Structure 1
Amino acid sequence: MDSLLLLIGFICIIVGIFGSFLPALPGPGLSWLGLLFLYLTKVVPENYWVLAITFAITIAILILDYIIPAKGTKKFGGSKYGIWGTNIGLLVGLIFIPIPFGFVIGAFSGALLGELYYDNQDHKRALKAATGSILGFLASAFMKFVVCMIFLGTFIYVAWEYRYAFLE
């Protein structure tokens, strides 16, 4: 059972890393769940401090994930249409643009189209707002990615520390 929990935890962490870029997956939340599965094993002793601190960080990141892109868009004069366009463009870029960083191209294009839909007369404002939207998205994704990588490092460190107990 411990090996299964270890495997499920590792999968959650890896999916969480991908989720730091994909808006449909709660990256840090999944990565924290991976840590929780690790600490639920009988091999690893409970460490409520680690779980509580990482949970607090996860909640803070999930809240900031909604604030940062919106602030970036608003700071550059954008609207809700730009934010929605960013998220839709991100998904389209992931699916239909088969090049590395296609999601960035899709997110920027979606934000631009969303802003042009909102106000098709002011192209300069739409371009500025789309730039703000994509910068906010990238800042938020980078922040989530860093947290997920720290959770991965914690997972590997703790699992390695108790590696011999998992083999028994």
Structure 2
Amino acid sequence: MQIIYWLLVAVMIFGVIGAVVPAIPGTSLILISIIIWGFVSGSFAAIKIPLIVTVFVLILSIGVDFLGGYLGAKQAGASKYGQIGAVVGLLLGFFGLLPTLPFGGPLLGILLGPLLGAIIGEYIYQRNFKLAVKAGIGIVAGTLIGNLIQGILAIAAVAVFLFTTWSQVFGA
């Protein structure tokens, strides 16, 4: 039973990483791991609190994801064009459709794609390169701050799980 516990904790750690890095599943992996532990341990009563906390964190993470990008865009004066450009850039970067870079691979594409997309989208709208760069940086900064907050929330969910189930697995 301890091996399964540690495997699920490893999946949860991957979920914490996914909460911070775009395009990798995050909090949902933590939630799935907790549910699996409920089945394996045969005691959903023992995971009631971590389950509630993780569902709350999942909902909060979705809100933080949208709010981070929105507030960053608003702070920088970005329009909808910049936001749409950032989403298109993220998708292009994720699927590797940006021009090939000599280093960094897809992770760099995921980071650079939204920035370039926001700048291009904002430039199409405003025709002012300086404002477009400012808006692009604002969108990306807001998204990165949102991802960091999601990571902290995910760590909290895993900590609650470990705290409430540790004695169940390893005794007092």
- Asked if 1:99 corresponds to 2:98, the answer is no
Tell me, in whole angstroms, the C-alpha distance in 2 between the residues paired with 1:158 and 1:87. 38
Aligned equivalent of 2:15: 16
8 A contact 2:47–2:164 mirrored in 1: no
- 1:30 counterpart SS class: helix
1:35 offset after TM fit, Å? 2.1
Residue 108 in 1 paired to residue 115 in 2?
yes
Deviations 1:34-56 (A, max 9, x none): 22222332255523233213322
Q: Partner residue of 2:79?
A: 79
Question: What's the TM-score, normalizing by structure 1?
Answer: 0.74
Shift of 1:160: 4.8
Letter of the 1:63 partner, please give it: G
Conserved 8 A contact 1:65-1:140 = yes
User: How far did 1:57 drift?
Assistant: 2.4
Relative distance call for 1:110 and 1:21 in structure 2 (3 A) is: farther
Partner of 2:39: 40
Deviations 1:61-116 (A, max 9, x none): 21221122012102211122222322333344454554286132332222111212
Residue 117 of structure 2 is aligned to residue 118 of structure 1: no
Question: What residue number does 1:135 align with?
Answer: 141
Q: One-letter code of the match for 2:51?
A: L
Q: Could you tell me how far apart the structure 2 residues matched to 1:36 and 1:159 are?
A: 13
Aligned length: 163
The SS at the match of 2:78 is coil
Work out whether residues 119 and 136 of structure 2, in 8 Å CA contact, stay in contact via their aligned partners in 1: yes
Other structure's SS at 2:115 match: helix
Is the Cα contact below 8 Å between 1:111 and 1:133 reproduced in 2?
Answer: yes
Percent of aligned pairs sharing the same letter: 24
Which residue does 1:66 correspond to in 2?
A: 66
| Aligned residue number for residue 89 of structure 2 | 89
Which runs of 5 or more residues in structure 1 are unaligned?
A: none
Relative to the length of structure 2, the TM-score reads 0.72
Instruction: From the superposition, tell whether residues 52 and 158 of structure 1 become closer, same or farther in structure 2 (CA, over 3 Å).
Output: closer
Q: Which whole-Å CA distance do the structure 2 matches of 1:87 and 1:17 have between them? A: 22
Unaligned runs of 5+ in 2: none
